[in-house]
């Protein structure tokens, strides 16, 4: 089936689909003889490789008939896809991966199972000297800054070290208020969020605050992640 002019215009907008160098970034795309290439580009952009279906299913301990029930795709088609005998359509691939992703989420640990509930925090009006004292006494690397239970900022060892490196005298720094040196708040997640989301955020942040219907419920740090690995 030849791609229509409308299809080709749309394909030119898909600048980031580049399976096997058949789709290239930017510029004028190569000629498309049919819509099979469109589907290939679509799958590579939105879904893992098709051979991941069997790997993920087996990792979940799920049989083909179980995946068929969850996805609404026939077991025979799933078997053919896993064996590489057919090239499935977009809708079937979406149903299968949606079912796998949902099953993975169901089986994953939740953020509230890993968080520290006893939160040590400071207020913006507190002195930096108090924050330093709490960091030392509680063996922490960071503290959330809160007002009436609402997260408004963060202060960490790095915050203080940066100020010292910038030339702020120690005596002056200790007398400054937390509001003068605090950084933007830590990212937040709901209690039921999968732990892997917290782990992803911790790649770029020193802590993740868990916020639920009752407000701040806990905090997850890299140390909490390491403790969880040690327990497992």
Nearest-angstrom CA–CA distance, 157 and 141: 6
Q: Could you say which of 107, 136, 155 is where a domain stops? A: 107
Mean pLDDT in residue range 42-48: 58
Instruction: Check pLDDT > 80 for residue 34.
Output: no
Is 122 found in the same domain as 60? Answer: no
pLDDT value at residue 70: 92
> Is residue 77 over pLDDT 90?
yes
Band (pLDDT 50/70/90 cuts) for residue 228 is low
Place 230 in a pLDDT band, splitting at 50, 70 and 90: low
Burial classification of residue 44, based on how many CB atoms lie within 10 Å of its CB (0-12 exposed, 13-18 middle, 19 or more buried): middle
Q: Which DSSP state fits 63?
A: -
Statement to judge: residues 122 and 219 lie in one domain:
yes
The band of 16, judged by pLDDT with boundaries at 50, 70 and 90, is very low
| Residues 6 or more apart whose Cβ sits within 8 Å of residue 199 | 225
Distance CA 142, CA 89 (A): 49
Q: What per-residue confidence (pLDDT) applies to 229?
A: 64
Q: So what's the pLDDT on residue 27?
A: 41
* CA pseudo-torsion sign 145, 147, 150, 152: negative
Residues 62, 173 share a domain: no
Last residue of a domain, one of 107, 142, 162: 107
Report whether 215 contacts 191 (CB < 8 A).
no
Q: Exposed e or buried b for every residue in 156-187, given b needs 16+ CB within 10 A?
A: bbebbeebeeeebeeeebbeebbbebbeebbb
CATH of the domain at 222: 3.10.580.10
Q: Kindly report the CATH number assigned to the domain that includes residue 49.
A: 1.10.260.40
Same domain, 135 and 224: yes
Kindly state whether residues 67 and 160 are assigned to the same domain.
Answer: no
Q: Do 223 and 122 belong together in one domain?
A: yes
Q: Give yes or no for a contact between 218 and 210, defined as CB atoms under 8 angstroms apart.
A: yes
The span from the CA of 230 to the CA of 224, in Å, is 10
- Each residue's pLDDT tens digit, 98-115: 898 888 777 677 888 889
The proportion of the chain whose per-residue pLDDT surpasses 70, expressed as a percent, equals: 77
Number of structural domains the chain divides into: 2
Average pLDDT, integer, range 124-131: 96
Looking at the structure, do residues 76 and 162 belong to the same domain, yes or no? Answer: no
Q: Is 13 exposed, middle or buried (0-12, 13-18, 19+ CB in 10 A)?
A: exposed
Instruction: List pLDDT tens digits, range 168-224.
Output: 999 999 999 999 999 999 999 999 888 888 888 999 999 999 999 889 999 999 888
- Residues 138-159 have pLDDT tens digits of 999 999 999 998 999 999 999 9
Torsion-angle region of 21 (φ positive above 0: left; ψ -120 to 50: alpha; else: beta): left
Rounded-to-integer distance, Cα 118 and Cα 216, Å: 11
Shared-domain flag, residues 141 and 208: yes
For the record, the structure tokens of 146 come out as 């809160």
| Final residue of a structural domain among 86, 107, 128 | 107
pLDDT band of residue 12 (cuts 50, 70, 90) is: very low
- Domain housing 194: 112-231
Q: Give yes or no: residues 43 and 130 share one domain.
A: no
Same domain, 79 and 137: no
> Residue 9: is its pLDDT beyond 60?
no
Q: What's the pLDDT score for residue 29?
A: 44
**Does residue 122 share a domain with residue 185?**
yes
pLDDT higher than threshold 50 for residue 136: yes
Residues 117 and 218 in one domain: yes
The secondary element (H helix, E strand) that includes residue 150 is strand 150-156
């Amino acid at each position: 089936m030849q791609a229509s002019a409308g299809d080709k215009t749309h394909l030119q907008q898909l600048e980031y689909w580049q399976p096997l160098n058949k789709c290239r970034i930017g510029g004028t795309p190569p000629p498309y003889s049919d819509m099979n290439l469109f589907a290939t580009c679509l799958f590579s952009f939105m879904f893992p490789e098709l051979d991941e279906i069997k790997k993920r299913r087996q990792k979940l301990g799920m049989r083909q008939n179980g995946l068929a029930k969850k996805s609404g795709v026939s077991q025979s088609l799933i078997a053919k896809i896993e064996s590489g005998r057919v090239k499935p359509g977009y809708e079937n691939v979406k149903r299968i991966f949606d079912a796998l992703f949902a099953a993975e989420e169901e089986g994953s640990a939740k953020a509230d199972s890993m968080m520290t509930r006893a939160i040590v925090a400071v207020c913006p009006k507190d002195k930096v000297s108090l924050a330093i004292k709490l960091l030392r006494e509680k063996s922490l690397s960071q503290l959330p800054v809160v007002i009436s239970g609402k997260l408004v900022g963060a202060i960490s060892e790095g915050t203080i070290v940066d100020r010292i490196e910038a030339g702020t005298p120690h005596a002056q720094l200790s007398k400054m208020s937390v509001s003068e040196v605090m950084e933007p708040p830590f990212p937040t997640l709901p209690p039921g969020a999968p732990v892997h989301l917290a782990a992803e955020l911790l790649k770029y942040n020193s802590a993740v605050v868990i916020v639920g219907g009752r407000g701040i419920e806990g905090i997850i740090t890299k140390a909490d992640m390491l403790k969880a690995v040690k327990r497992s």
